[in-house]
Structure 1
Amino acid sequence: MQLLLLTAGLGLLSVLGAQGPQLTPAHAQELVGRWHIKLWAGTLRIPAHKRSHPLPPFTLAMNRLQKLEFRMNLTKPIGCVLYKLPLDFQSSPGIFNTWWRHLIYISFLPGKEHAIAYFQVKVDTINHYMMMLMGRSLDEDPEAVRTFEEFAESKGLNRTDIARPPPLEACELPPDS
């Protein structure tokens, strides 16, 4: 099953690259730093009122085990909570594995200031997927937006299905977190 997902994901990225700008599979060390979720879309069931909910920036960092780790500070009723998700490197660049065994594909757009992250999961015999356009800054880039819209359309979504969450400053955690 993982081999099938890998083949389909790599095939999709190569087809998208032939239609638009060349996407470059991301190496873990190149992803380290602060990122903003600029756009996202998917087929998972998410209530409409949450689709445009503001999202804080996130950080990709190397943890003590030398794994790439997704980190996002979330504001909850109990206070600020740090969410962490380690990502194992796969044998091919741009492919990462979560502890839930979800494969996440991350590819840079030209210039490496923006990237597209994509994953697919099977729920009740139906393939669902999520994708996001992530950027190193909040600056607008019409070419990156166009590329992401084309990517979403290649997965059967309409441009109106794309969420454009406003930025939200993350809550601060103590330095020892």
Structure 2
Amino acid sequence: MEPLQLLLLSGALSLLSAVQAEGPKLIPARSWQLLGDWNIVRWAGNMPIPEKRKAHPLPPFMFAINKLKKLEFRMNIMKPIGCIQFKLPLDEHSEPGLFFTWWRHKIYISLLPGKKHAIASFKDKVDNILHQMMMLMGRTLDEDAEAVKVFVDFVNSTGLKRTDMVHPNHVGACKLPPKS
């Protein structure tokens, strides 16, 4: 996985304040609600990622509390030497659903009703260009038509198009080590 994909994944963890017009009420997430294993069900964005990289398999990821008592995003990524674990600590803001990366990027994460799916979003200007990234994440890879519909509506509300969405492959991706 290239650095752009790392930016995609960390950035994908941010942007949600824009949607919630119609449809189910999204619930701003707190750290303790995010703990555990997740999968990227869909993602969308306008980050400069080559088309062939967008199709690369995406592994599951997890949120855990690290030694510094901070929420941490963990995902194995493929490098020429094999799978390595990428870790991104997140500072939880007093505003529910808002997290900051160490780069000070804002990431919004909201749970869908039922708390088995969430939407993470990121929006920031880089070199005067607005970049946005969002992902629908689920506790499993099972398709949930209502969750996908909410995500499609969210993507459309940000100015991106449904054609900007990616349904990632998961076969062949680096897996997280089993819990001990």
TM-score class, shorter-chain normalisation, is 0.7 to 0.9
Residue 141 of structure 1 is matched in structure 2 by: 144
* 1:6 equivalent in structure 2: none
1:103 maps to what in 2?
106
Bigger Cα displacement from structure 2, 44-53 vs 20-29:
44-53
- Structure 2: distance between partners of 1:51 and 1:174: 27
1:73 aligns with 2:76: yes
Determine the C-alpha separation between the residues in 2 that align with 1:76 and 1:38: 22
Give the conservation status (yes or no) of the 8 Å contact 2:45–2:132: yes
By how many angstroms is 1:170 displaced? Answer: 2.5
Aligned residue runs from structure 1 range 90-129, under 5 A:
90-129=93-132
Given that residues 64 and 72 in structure 2 are in contact (C-alpha distance below 8 angstroms), is that contact kept between their aligned partners in structure 1?
yes
Residue 18 (structure 1) shift = 3.3
SS of match in other structure, 1:166: coil
Find the partner of 1:170 among 159, 168, 174. Answer: 174
CA RMSD of aligned residues (A): 1.8
- 5+ long unaligned stretches in structure 1: 1-8
Change (3 A) 1:153 1:10: closer
The residue number in structure 1 matching 2:135 is 132
Partner Cα distance (1:147, 1:18) in 2: 11
The structure number with the bigger radius of gyration is: 1
Q: Percent identity?
A: 56
| Contact residue 89 and residue 96 of structure 1 kept, 8 A | yes
**Higher RCO (CA < 8 A, seq sep 6+):** 2
1:58 to 36, 58, 61: 61
Residues matched between the structures, number: 165
How far apart in 2 are the matches of 1:173 and 1:66? 21
Out of 68, 83, 88, the residue aligned to residue 86 of structure 2 is 83
Q: Which residue of 2 aligns with 1:49?
A: 52
Are residues 35 and 172 of structure 1, via their aligned partners in 2, closer, same or farther at CA, if it must alter by over 3 Å?
closer
TM, length-normalised to structure 2: 0.86
SS in 2 for 1:99: coil
Per the alignment, residue 29 of structure 1 pairs with: 32
Tell me the TM-score normalized by structure 1: 0.87
Pair 110,175 (structure 1): closer, same or farther in 2 beyond 3 Å: closer
Runs of 4+ in 1 over 3 A off after TM superposition: 171-176
Provide the C-alpha distance between the structure 2 equivalents of 1:174 and 1:10, rounded to a whole number of angstroms: 31
Distance 1:11 1:99, change over 3 A: closer
